[in-house]
Structure 1
Amino acid sequence: MMQQEDTYIRKATAEDAAAIHQLALDIWPKAFEQLLSQEQTSYMMQMMYAPSVLEQEMERGVEYYILNHKGVDMGYTAIEQKAPGSWKLHKIYLSQQLHGKGLGKYQLKSMEAVAKGYGARQLLLNVNRRNKAVDFYKSQGYEIVKTEDIDIGNGYFMNDYVMQKELG
């Protein structure tokens, strides 16, 4: 797996579900506090990050990766093959205290390399249309290919852009 000074990314196993759950509790609500209500955040945390949900996703082929910085787990990503040659980046989160240090780019490039290693020609991702990360993805070569409003239940919707990058 890719490595940067004092930082590396490792593939997670089902035994890491509790660690990913804890990382999500620490990172995810802060990432969306300006975009989602507290109620929707709580609902989505349970829907997406309960350890049993993470384990089920791993069983169906979603690969999770954990970023370790200076001996501490500080971020996570998840990717999945959607079709031959096409992979989806489901999750990419980094502790807010590490923002602006190039580690988000490191996570993204690592996932692009993993997907490419599996034969992916393109990587897709969804991002909330009001999320400042849209500009980050554009700066990394991703283009908006469509918008989606995804009903996630309980009266909530994810209002996303679908972005895509050709991996070459």
Structure 2
Amino acid sequence: MTDIFAATLDDLPRVQALARDIWPECFAGILPPDRIGPMVEAIYALDTLRDDMQVRGHRYWLAQVDGHDAGYVSAYQEGARLWLKKLYLRHTCRGEGTGKALIATVLKAFPDARELALYVNDGNAPAIAFYQAQGFEIEATVPVRMGPFDFTDHVMRKAL
């Protein structure tokens, strides 16, 4: 059974722990292995996650499957555009509808959004295919900097 709930500041260490587990499997073969750990530590530092919530207006949700942390999502709104900032699931929880449920949770929390957009690494074929199956289209391909790291992402969007 999947349970999704809004994360509080006290839950951010759980988000960080999930990222440390999920990123190596998610980005294997996409990013150099020696780059994944430092990226996670920079992007998921607790101070950065707190600033996401307290300064940048991001909201986070955690997903549990059968009582175990399975993944997370974060989002924020700029005007009519809702940004899906992070959406990650453990490999064992993919293909079970949890990703779709997380997106639905985000949409319910921002009812006045008119479009949903996200960034996805241009080499992450499984994620791109998932988003396309949810109705997203590639809007642009852009250089991105996450922490001290540079790479290329697709901006994907869909009208709501």
TM-score, normalized by length of structure 1? 0.88
Helix, strand or coil: the match of 1:147? strand
Report the counterpart of residue 61 of structure 2 in structure 1: 65
Report the counterpart of residue 26 of structure 1 in structure 2: 21
> 1:46-104: per-residue Cα shift (whole Å, max 9, x none)?
1111112111111021101000111111100000112x211100100111111122222
Report the counterpart of residue 155 of structure 2 in structure 1: 162
Residue type of the partner of 1:163? M
Offset of residue 38 of structure 1: 2.1
Helix, strand or coil: the match of 2:135? coil
Structure with the bigger RCO (C-alpha within 8 Å, sep 6+) is 2
Report the counterpart of residue 141 of structure 2 in structure 1: 147
- Cα distance between partner residues in 2 of 1:65 and 1:160: 23
Offset of residue 153 of structure 1: 5.8
Unaligned runs of 5+ in 2: none
- Cα distance between partner residues in 2 of 1:18 and 1:150: 25
Q: 2:124 is matched with which residue: 121, 131, 137? A: 131
**Relative to structure 1, is the Cα distance of residues 152 and 25 closer, same or farther in structure 2, using a 3 angstrom cutoff?**
closer
Residue type of the partner of 2:139? V
- Cα distance between partner residues in 2 of 1:126 and 1:111: 16
- Cα distance between partner residues in 2 of 1:65 and 1:153: 22
Q: 2:8 is matched with which residue: 13, 38, 43? A: 13
User: Which portions of structure 1, spanning 4 or more consecutive aligned residues, are displaced by more than 4 angstroms?
Assistant: none
Report the counterpart of residue 103 of structure 2 in structure 1: 108
Report the counterpart of residue 80 of structure 2 in structure 1: 85
Unaligned runs of 5+ in 1: 1-5
2:71 is the counterpart of 1:75: yes
Judge which range, 11-20 or 33-42, deviates more. 33-42
- Cα distance between partner residues in 2 of 1:140 and 1:89: 13
Residue type of the partner of 2:113? A
Q: Count matched residues.
A: 158
Report the counterpart of residue 41 of structure 1 in structure 2: 36
Query: 2:42–2:147: 8 Å Cα contact kept in structure 1?
Result: no
Query: 2:22–2:88: 8 Å Cα contact kept in structure 1?
Result: yes
Helix, strand or coil: the match of 2:96? coil
Report the counterpart of residue 97 of structure 1 in structure 2: 92
Report the counterpart of residue 3 of structure 1 in structure 2: none
TM-score, normalized by length of structure 2? 0.92
